[in-house]
Structure 1
């Protein structure tokens, strides 16, 4: 019987244009990508319950009581199973410094549970060209989406397995479905069973986990692409870089942007220039 995996995805980075971290408008992120994790279908229920319990262990002392209180003030029903802690809030630099032990331990438990269940981490993205000319957010999204399907299809083909995708709901939902159908039928991506299912993250513990992982992928990719602009993200590289690298499959952020020359390259160019300049001066003196 063919094994079936479920892949849970969210976005990391930003699909809009990027100029610099200090730009008043286009300052969000130099990378856009899609990421999350994959699990064998028969372990999804176990992992969902694990993540639900993990959130309670982490947030029972403050966040959950506060959320319950706010719901009561609004005369609304509070349902713990639909309560969500956003990854962007959980994985901030301030939180990681202040609660390093809690966050690193819980993250390692989360990743260990995924791999022990036969799953893996997954992400794919690309560094955006700096500037707003010719930047198209929809094309940026589609590029990562197509690459994501291609890599997952190749991975599961090697495993003689098939897969389904669950994603956080997106405003481009119709375009996403059309693109997936095209890849499935026109580009012969046979391991993908059906077009992605788009869901409300509040109702899915697994999608919330993908959101947490994407918060990490976003910090790691920013630091890898533009470390001089975000030295504070080095802490994410230090605590999570190796662990993510060990648990991932077929994942990376494509970076085709020209890199600034290294100092030794500049020194060699300077030496070469000075040498040529001395030769020219010597030849002039001989004349």
Structure 2
């Protein structure tokens, strides 16, 4: 059996731009983490815990509850990470190599958000979360089926009320899709919720989600501050480590979507560098989004 540990990429809210007063958090939403054979999960967790206790020794000793202390992925992959704490990035790279040597893979699925306020984009945050979770489960099941293994999915803990609200939808999706897509039988249960403070594997999934989020930021935002994420001297081992099913789904774009390690490419298909002026330089982002919305309506018609 395989074990999949995933965490959220970004959040479900609207996105306009990095400098918007209210809607500036993340240009995409989805899930990322890793998949590992069950027989290697405990070993990998021990390696992660050992590295964490070495790198963050002083912080852990100073914590009120050392056994529950965790370093969030957003801190590991902060804007100036290569300058302020390159050692943490080296530890992440080492952990990715360890994972792949144990027969594991990194994984992600994310949807680019339409640009605009909640009213402009008719945002339904619950639907955005459901759609991303469904696609993540579909792709994890497909990966497991390729390896002729069942898979158990685990995700960071949420409050009990929210868990009970989401659970029926996940059951409905898995059972409803099974007849047409038999690989869904590989999912032993809907995702189980685990407290990240008590799980080294969920903590590493959070690191992976942060790393993937930075790469998506670089690919989707022209003025991204995370160009360093594509530097092979910073995070080398992610390339070739993702499942074939990993994907960034674009919103009404004229270029191909991103698969597996392509989000870490230095080249950015959305912002090519031709000999003349970029088309994107001549088009207001909001106007471009309206044009894509019109195109979508025409396509549906």
TM-score exceeds 0.5: yes
Q: TM-score, normalised by structure 1?
A: 0.81
Corresponding residue for 2:284? none
Given that 2:271 and 2:278 are in contact with CA atoms closer than 8 Å, whether structure 1 keeps it comes out as no
TM-score (norm 2): 0.78
More RCO (CA 8 Å, sep 6+): 1
Correspondence for 1:117: 102
Once the 2 structures are TM-superposed, how far is the Cα of residue 66 of structure 1 from its aligned partner?
2.8
Q: How much is the aligned-residue C-alpha RMSD, in angstroms?
A: 2.2
Asked whether the 8 Å contact 2:72–2:203 carries over to 1, the reply is yes
Query: Which residue is 1:97 aligned to?
Result: 83
In 2, the alpha carbon distance for the partners of 1:264 and 1:200 equals 48
Name the counterpart of 1:34. Answer: 31
1:225·1:255 contact (CA, 8 Å) conserved in 2? no
Give the drift of 1:244: 2.1
Note the C-alpha offset of 1:97: 1.6
- Please name the residue that 1:16 is paired with: 13
Q: CA deviation at 1:144?
A: 0.9
Larger radius of gyration: 1
Equivalent residue, structure 1, for 2:250: 255
- Whether 1:176 aligns to 2:173 is no
SS where residue 20 of structure 1 aligns?
Answer: coil
Q: Tell me, which stretches of 5 or more residues in structure 2 are unaligned?
A: 179-183, 255-269, 280-301
Deviation, structure 1 residue 170:
2.8
Does structure 1 residue 165 correspond to structure 2 residue 159? no
Structure 2 counterparts to residues 1-287 of structure 1, below 5 A: 4-60=1-57, 62-67=58-63, 71=64, 78=65, 80-100=66-86, 102-131=87-116, 132=118, 133=120, 134-171=122-159, 172-188=162-178, 189-226=184-221, 228-230=222-224, 232-239=225-232, 243-249=237-243, 250-258=245-253, 264=274
> Which 4+ residue blocks in structure 1 deviate beyond 6 angstroms?
265-269
Check the 8 A contact 1:87/1:213 in 2, yes or no. Answer: yes
Greater share of residues in helix: 1
